[in-house]
């Protein structure tokens, strides 16, 4: 922990009691350094700062988990509305998975079942896999539906190709 002089403290927070610090952490195995800058309106212990930084890392892990499980980063964004809608839906799904997994872990600790004593706690990835296998209906695989979908998809691609050609023709002729 290095105390630094804050050159940009929040308004109304200038003074002798404000603490501005730089925390530097060296990874135990890779030896890489990570830095976190913090500001507190009063004196703060090193243990408190470290606990806050660790909490931030847990949030970053949760965001990575939402990207992997709920495809938070896979939305095809063309405008703000679609970006917000995709992000909200992905985060709500991730929250539902996380809360359900936490409730299941709580219920598991209350059971004291010796058969489940050596199990890893249920996580969002495993819960999603179980939902897909047990609750969500499987996709249709009958030949009639597959042929209908193929026809619809190729027709849609043809229309999209025509629209793109018209747009490029228009854009090329417009000064």
SS3 7: coil
In this structure, is residue 175 part of a structural domain? no
The verdict on 83 and 38 lying in the same domain is no
pLDDT value at residue 9? 61
- pLDDT tens profile 34-61: 888 887 777 888 888 888 888 888 888 8
* Residue 140 main-chain phi, psi, to 5 deg: -70, 135
Query: What is the distance between the terminal CA atoms of the chain, rounded to a whole angstrom?
Result: 61
In this structure, is residue 122 part of a structural domain? yes
d(CA 35, CA 55): 15
In this structure, is residue 172 part of a structural domain? no
Would you put residue 27 in left (φ > 0), alpha (ψ -120 to 50) or beta? beta
The verdict on 90 and 116 lying in the same domain is yes
In this structure, is residue 132 part of a structural domain? yes
In this structure, is residue 19 part of a structural domain? yes
Q: What is the mean pLDDT of the chain?
A: 83
Number of domains in the chain: 2
Residue 175 half-sphere exposure toward CB, CA atoms < 13 A? 0
**Which pair of tokens denotes residue 59?**
């949030």
d(CA 88, CA 66): 11
The verdict on 70 and 39 lying in the same domain is no
In this structure, is residue 174 part of a structural domain? no
The verdict on 33 and 88 lying in the same domain is no
Positions in the chain whose pLDDT score sits under 50: none
In this structure, is residue 32 part of a structural domain? yes
Contact 106, 78 (CB under 8 A): no
d(CA 22, CA 100): 37
pLDDT value at residue 139? 81
Which domain covers residue 82, as residue numbers? 61-139
pLDDT value at residue 147? 94
C-alpha distances in Å from residue 20, one per residue of 1, 15, 45, 99, 157: 10, 11, 12, 35, 57
Query: Strands 19-26 and 33-40: what pairing?
Result: antiparallel
pLDDT value at residue 165? 92
In this structure, is residue 167 part of a structural domain? no
């Amino acid at each position: 922990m290095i105390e630094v002089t804050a050159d940009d403290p929040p308004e109304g927070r200038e003074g002798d009691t404000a603490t501005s610090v730089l925390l530097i952490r060296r990874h135990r195995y890779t030896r890489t350094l990570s830095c976190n800058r913090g500001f507190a309106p009063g004196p703060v212990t090193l243990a408190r700062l470290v606990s806050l930084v660790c909490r931030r890392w847990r949030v970053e892990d949760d965001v990575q988990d939402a990207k992997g499980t709920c495809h938070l980063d896979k939305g095809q964004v063309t405008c703000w509305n679609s970006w917000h809608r995709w992000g909200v839906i992905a985060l709500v799904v991730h929250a539902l998975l996380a809360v359900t997994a936490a409730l299941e872990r709580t219920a598991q600790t209350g059971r004291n079942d010796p058969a489940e004593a050596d199990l890893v706690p249920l996580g969002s990835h495993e819960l999603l896999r179980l939902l897909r296998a047990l609750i969500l209906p499987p996709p249709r695989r009958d030949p009639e539906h597959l042929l209908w979908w193929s026809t619809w998809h190729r027709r849609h691609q043809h229309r999209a190709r025509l629209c793109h050609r018209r747009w490029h023709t228009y854009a090329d002729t417009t000064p």
